[in-house]
Chain A
Amino acid sequence: MLMYTIKRLIAGVITVWFIATATFIAMHQVPGDPLMNDKAVTAEIRANLEKKYGLDKPVTHQYFIFLGNMLKGDFGISFTQQNRRVNDIIQDHFPVSATLGILAILFASMGGILWGALTAIYRNRMPDIIIMFLVILGISVPSFVFAALGQLLLVNINSMLGQSVIPVAGWGTIWHMLMPALVLGLGTMAFLTRLMRSSMLEVVNEDYIKTARAKGLSPTRIFFRHQLRNAILPVVTVLGPQIAVITTGGFVVELVFAIPGLGRYFVQAVQQLDYTVIMGTTVFYGAFLVLMVIIVDILYGFIDPRVRLA
């Protein structure tokens, strides 16, 4: 188990290095000039800006400087917010994204497992058809639509009640988080529902379920102890990457609900060609994703002993 973990960690480090290198190359290929702004500046000012950000050196040189700093855990200062360090940006805003993401994953996994199990039980009957229709909606409708609708719903609830019961945007209390987390989790919830449904249906015909039934166990007991527990494995597998996806994919939701998360920086940095923030957030998220996958792999071993033997 220890060897297995170490091996996975080394592979993870190589993956992160690869992500960093690929992003670095891609970023420098994007047309446009990170130092250019509305007002044109003189050649002297430009030269000074280039010097400040090390852009006056050849790209390969810049790459090695970046790698060296990355190993020290320093991503430099932002191009757009010239007095903030990228590390501070990540430190300030990732916890926000993470809190929102965890809440969204809770919604998504609880909902996904519940609805998935229901559809499997009522296979091809009315509840199944309705839920699966909603699932398709949830997968195909982009989150900015849900975000706008969700916010409008809150506005309407508040105006119906004549007072602001649930805040429509902003950050600070659990009430601020409910709707954004729900919206953020919807896509994953739909995805998990489908996954759960198919894996439930697979399990239904397994021999051990037949055995359990033959033993005369109650349907509820069979459902919870045998069916659900076995069917949940694939869901756990995707949960790791999904956590990473949700904590990074919150750009639109963060924008609509005015939430100070890292997702906004992640996307805006690319639009503004803020090189240091692009590298910082991408490497950070890449490492986070890799870590999540490793953790799930290890957890998997606890849930399913067969994995450990392999």
Chain B
Amino acid sequence: MRICVAAILLLLINPVFAQFEATSVDYENQIITIALTQEPPQLNGMKATDQVSILVLSHVMEGLVRYDRRGRIIPGVAERWEMDENGATFWLREDALWSDGQPVTAHDFVFAWRHTLKPATASEYAFILYPIKNAEAINTGQVAADQLGVVAVDDRTLNVTFERPTAYFIKLTAFVTYFPVREDFHSAKGEAYGSDPDDLLYNGPFRMTEWTHSASLKMMKNQNYWDRDAITLNAIHADYITADTRARLNLFIDGKIVHTRLDGETYKDALTQRFRIRRFNTGSVFFLEYNHRSERATSNLNLRKAIQHAFDPDEMVNRVLATPGNLRGESLFPVWLNGVNDKFRREYPAPQATYDIALAKEYLAKAKSELGSIPPLVLLVSDSPTAAKQAEYLQGVMGSKLGLEIKIDIQTFKQRLAKMTAGDFDIVGAGWGPDFDDIMTFGDLFASWNLNNRGRYDNPEYDRLVRVAMNNTDPKIRMDAMSELQQILFDDAVILPQYEQGVIYLLHPRVKGVVRRVVGADPDFTYASVAP
């Protein structure tokens, strides 16, 4: 009986008996195999928010402009554009085609942007369209979607009117939320849009050909893509989907995937395997965010200054995180952001807090006299092993150096967010990653109106500086404002920068041209190739 069941089972599965011979690189056919860290939850560009969906979408779709191998903006669907304080005009290329052969027109952008902003769509990234005239009003339901400041003058000319001067608008159009969607296709698919390979139209370098949910996703070179000659790879096979870093390392060792990210533990194993370990700075900044609500002890400046001077970012990076690639946290603005002519942080160095326990104790004494006594501080962190390690380190340092009692509150992702929003914390371990390549993606984070300002920091001077940088297009004025803002962040100890995130990863030595990006698809395999 049992043998019988086994035999049936074998027969059922047998047709694909020993077909797993494929390895991670195929030179003749120019195919690479990768692993995704999770199933893309949302291959609908208008609603995508997560890294994996953005990764896949950026390979199969294209916006008005795109980033080249070195992270510079180059023409995408638009072959040229003009921008001034009031708006921008894009001229679309003639040979930009959808995967069904029809041309990508200006109407496809108008439709996508309007649809994203409709309150009924409930897109979480709608705010990124706010520089366009009336966008925010549409998104909050005050104005109809057809009032959006974007017009298709003809099939190949797109005219955008701004709500306010936006120096970085062109860069925004490289983001997935700005990708085109063809109205007839979208309405034909309805709710199913983006749920399977046939439920999506592609205009990017690749198109999705197969998607077995939670198992694999295959992309093939898009022969309709206008710049197809620049694309060497014929296919990208994401044959594995798992969040387990050890499993991915094992797949890499076994020659099944070309790329995997390492963590603290797998790093050691990769070292013993003598792989070349590569580093990359993700461009995200991690910091402790204080609760500035008046009923909290952390609303006291002297207490925050005390913590600022008792924290040693070098020790955090070298001894606590202890994987290569992380940079010490000095500012809300990471080192890669551009300033006027050079990198912002080179032009406007961040003020440095001296690691000085005596000074910290002075501040603490002042804080105590102002507050009476200091209650135990609640440190809210996520439930990852790294976050727990950092929290314990801070608890130890603040306890031994300053005699501050810190209570660690470890919560799962959603619960941590709920507590952050409700203000149920004193200090929270937070981080911020860039959405676009401009200082503003970080700058307005602690503006009083920003919903992500969960510590409710409220400073009219900070708000004023954000407005200056938002409403001006002159780089010098903008960066000067941001420099003053950087000073406020320090003087007021609004946050305590901890580190700029670095990741370490392995890449198959025969795969060339993989681009790691701070903004957009990361890693980007668009221009990759397999060397002989």
Contact = CB atoms under 8 A, between A and B. Distances in A.
Interface of A: 30-34, 36-42, 44-45, 47-49, 52, 77, 80-84, 89, 92-93, 99, 102-103, 106, 109-110, 148, 151-152, 154-155, 158-159, 164, 167-177, 255-261, 264-265, 271-273
Interface of B: 2, 5-6, 9-10, 13-14, 16-21, 23, 35, 39, 41-42, 44, 47, 49, 119-127, 139-141, 191-195, 199, 212-216, 239-244, 246-247, 250-251, 253-256, 411-415, 417-419, 421, 450-452, 454
Contacts of A103: 9
Given A148-B246, A260-B241, A175 B20 contact: yes
B13 A168 contact: no
Given A48-B122, A164-B20, A174 B10 contact: yes
A258 B33 CA distance: 14
Contact of B241 (A109, A172, A175, A258): A258
A37 B49 contact: yes
A151 B21 contact: no
Contact of A102 (B9, B39, B42): B9
Contact of A264 (B214, B216, B412): B214
B418 A31 contact: yes
A158 B192 CA distance: 42
A170 B47 contact: no
Given A82-B42, A83-B44, A256 B246 contact: yes
A159 B214 contact: no
A53 B179 CA distance: 26
Contacts of A34: 414
A169 B242 contact: yes
Contacts of A47: 119
Contacts of B414: 32-34, 36, 271-273
B49 A48 contact: no
Most central of A31, A169, A264, A265 by chain B CB within 10 Å: A169
15 contacts: A33-B418, A40-B421, A40-B452, A41-B122, A45-B139, A82-B47, A84-B195, A84-B213, A92-B214, A99-B13, A103-B9, A173-B18, A175-B18, A255-B247, A256-B246
Contacts of B253: 155, 159
Nearest to B432: A38
Contacts of B141: 44
B363 to A, nearest CB: 31
A63 to B, nearest CB: 21
A174 B8 CA distance: 12
Contacts of B241: 258, 260
Contacts of A109: 2
A260 B212 contact: yes
Contacts of A83: 42, 44, 191-195, 199
A157 B145 CA distance: 61
A267 to B, nearest CB: 11
Contacts of A36: 414, 417-418, 421
A37 B20 contact: no
A256 B194 contact: no
Contacts, number: 185
Contact of B213 (A77, A92, A258): A92
Contacts of A82: 41-42, 44, 47
Contacts of B413: 271-272
A47 B122 CA distance: 9
Contacts of A175: 17-18, 20
Contacts of A77: 191
Contact of A45 (B126, B215, B250, B452): B126
Contacts of B122: 41, 45, 48-49, 52
B244 A256 contact: yes
A258 B194 contact: no
Given A42-B140, A45-B122, A83-B192, 6 more contacts: A45-B126, A80-B41, A169-B240, A173-B17, A257-B247, A260-B214
B529 to A, nearest CB: 23
A264 B418 CA distance: 24
Contacts of A272: 413-414
A39 B125 contact: yes
Contacts of A170: 20, 215-216, 239-240, 256
Given A164-B23, A271-B412, A45 B119 contact: yes
A109 B3 CA distance: 12
Given A45-B139, A48-B119, A106 B6 contact: yes
A45 B123 contact: yes
A128 B312 CA distance: 58
A32 B247 contact: no
Contacts of B20: 164, 167, 170, 172-173, 175-176
B247 A81 contact: no
Contacts of A158: 254
Contact of B240 (A102, A159, A258): A258
A155 B250 CA distance: 7
Contacts of B127: 39, 42
A48 B118 CA distance: 10
A155 B412 CA distance: 33
Contacts of A93: 213-214
Contact of A44 (B17, B140, B192, B214): B140
